[in-house]
Structure 1
Amino acid sequence: MIPRLVATDLDGTLLRSDGTVSPRTRDVLTALETRGVPVVFVTGRPMRWVDELHDDVGGHGLAICSNGAIVYEVADRAVRRALPLDRAIVLEVAARLRAALPGTAFALERTHGFAREDSYRSRHVEPVGTPHGTLEEILDDTVVKVLALHDEMDGDAYWRAVDRLVGDLVDVTWSSTWALVEMSAHGVTKASTLALLCAELGITSAEVVAFGDMTNDIAMLQWAGTSYAMADAHPAAQAAATHRAPGHDADGVAVVLTELFDLP
């Protein structure tokens, strides 16, 4: 069956290691747009990081950002849907992690921008004027993702520990190479939001092809009727997918889509 919708992660999947969209991939996206095939970018990235790719992907569709918490109109730079976290839940999550994993620091992705605790050391360039203070001071009702960072723990071990401690309150994912864990509202994943979007479009999971490389892609790879993990993906992502694609630096997504859609 030729898929009716393409869902793809960005970092480590559609993008090359330098964070760019290759000319080959750009041509494939354009060809699918011409054929009327929706392309949905499903990413852990916040909206502002998707905007950085606007010239490459802006005309090609929607983005599901922050691991499912936001549906974003890329071309118009507009939020279609947001699924925020409850304030009391965020505070309970923080209390449990501080008690069990001392040294944990928090940051927040909100519909109106990024904010962090004073002790949170960002590994990415922060927006100018980023608010900081205590968690209680920066917390509001527009939070769509909580970031928990530990400077001394192994990334995989930290993710598993956080999931064990607060997985009953929030949905816990990990997509970094260091101990940075991302938490969305309970039940909100890339897969759950993609399923809602496809239902609105009248598209079933069997008609979707999905691409990913990390543990936060597992639910999406399992939900889609056809799924590809990249050749250099996390072993758990590879186990969840139905197929394997070439690596992201080899334009693996473009290679597979060219074959699936018989593109020139």
Structure 2
Amino acid sequence: MSPPRLIATDLDGTLVHSDGSITPRTQAALLAAEAAGVEVVFVTGRPLRWAKDVFDHVGGHGHAIVSNGALIWDVATSSPYLVRAFESAIAVEVADRIRDAVPGTHYAVETLDGIALETGFLERYPVPEGSLRGSFEEIAGRPVLKILARHEELDPQSFWDAALAVAADLAEITWSSATTLLEISAHQVTKASTLAVFAAERGIGPDEVVAFGDMPNDLPMLEWAGTSYAMANAHPSVRAIATHVAGTNDDDGVAEVIEQLLDS
């Protein structure tokens, strides 16, 4: 297989080790790909505030697709390249529908300014001091990149199924967490659709893209890319649709594949 023109890789559970690190081997593989003229794009569910931690590894000129496709960030200029946010009224309608169907649902939202949370949303990680808390209408007063829906009693699959049943016509609903946390984007905004826009602007087709992922939020991207790798640690649904399986994230599976692609 000849080297692709673009490598698109998820972060957590894919490129990043379980301890949150990116190893020297992986860093070297990414740099070698860029030196060979291959564009490397991080495509992650992470919000901008978390994704920034690893931007150095796409190079100072690179781009990152964050919040499951709701934002392309220009790393070089530290500014938005493309924003695909919810319309405010649609965000409220989606939240209302899911909460009506699944009482006990609580929300947070990611915006360009950071996270905002309903008072009942129980976060698992520290949030920035001064983050807005209030009703959904209050926290969704700024353009919403991603809605986070949490339930403390259901399992992820049951919550996902229930949400899809009532709101799939208005939004893209997926998940990538070990906890019951849904990630909801505007209709037709996925990792795949945003990556397709980015690639098309550069004259790159799906058959020239290699993509890596591990969780259900990666499914559209892996189905779109001409060559796709599920990590060995991936969710069963991801392994079922990928064209190949890479080693685990903790075994530098992405780096191993990139090394092979560049040597072929």
Provide TM-score, normalisation by structure 2. 0.96
Per the alignment, residue 150 of structure 1 pairs with 151
Structure 2: gaps of 5 or more residues:
none
**Is the Cα–Cα contact under 8 Å of residues 30 and 60 in structure 1 kept in the other structure?**
no
Per the TM alignment, residue 58 of structure 1 is displaced from its structure 2 partner at its CA by 4.6
Code of the aligned partner of 1:245: A
CA distance in 1, matches of 2:263, 2:129: 45
Structure 1: gaps of 5 or more residues:
none
SS at 1:53 equivalent: helix
Instruction: Call closer, same or farther: CA 1:103–1:58 in 2, change over 3 Å.
Output: farther
The alignment status of 1:213 with 2:186, answered yes or no, reads: no
State how many pairs are aligned. Answer: 263
The aligned runs of 1:43-192 (5 Å cut-off) are 43-59=44-60, 61-192=62-193
Per the alignment, residue 20 of structure 1 pairs with 21
Code of the aligned partner of 1:147: L
Code of the aligned partner of 1:85: F
**Is the Cα–Cα contact under 8 Å of residues 115 and 132 in structure 1 kept in the other structure?**
yes
The alignment status of 1:244 with 2:218, answered yes or no, reads: no
The alignment status of 1:30 with 2:31, answered yes or no, reads: yes
Per the TM alignment, residue 75 of structure 1 is displaced from its structure 2 partner at its CA by 3.6
CA distance in 2, matches of 1:212, 1:239: 12
Runs of 4+ in 1 over 6 A off after TM superposition: none
Per the TM alignment, residue 141 of structure 1 is displaced from its structure 2 partner at its CA by 4.1
CA distance in 2, matches of 1:74, 1:155: 33
CA distance in 1, matches of 2:26, 2:173: 30
Q: Deviations over 1:102-142 (max 9, x none)?
A: 11000001112110100001111101211101111121241
**Is the Cα–Cα contact under 8 Å of residues 73 and 79 in structure 1 kept in the other structure?**
yes
Provide TM-score, normalisation by structure 1. 0.96
SS at 1:182 equivalent: strand
CA distance in 1, matches of 2:173, 2:225: 20
Taking only aligned residues, the RMSD between alpha carbons, in angstroms, comes to 1.3
Q: Deviations over 1:54-75 (max 9, x none)?
A: 3444536211000000001124
Code of the aligned partner of 1:163: L
CA distance in 2, matches of 1:51, 1:76: 13
Counting aligned pairs with the same residue, the percent is 52
Per the TM alignment, residue 261 of structure 1 is displaced from its structure 2 partner at its CA by 1.0
CA distance in 2, matches of 1:142, 1:59: 27
Per the alignment, residue 41 of structure 2 pairs with 40
Code of the aligned partner of 2:120: S
Q: Deviations over 1:55-106 (max 9, x none)?
A: 4445362110000000011243211110110111111112212211111000
Per the alignment, residue 263 of structure 2 pairs with 262
Instruction: Call closer, same or farther: CA 1:2–1:57 in 2, change over 3 Å.
Output: closer
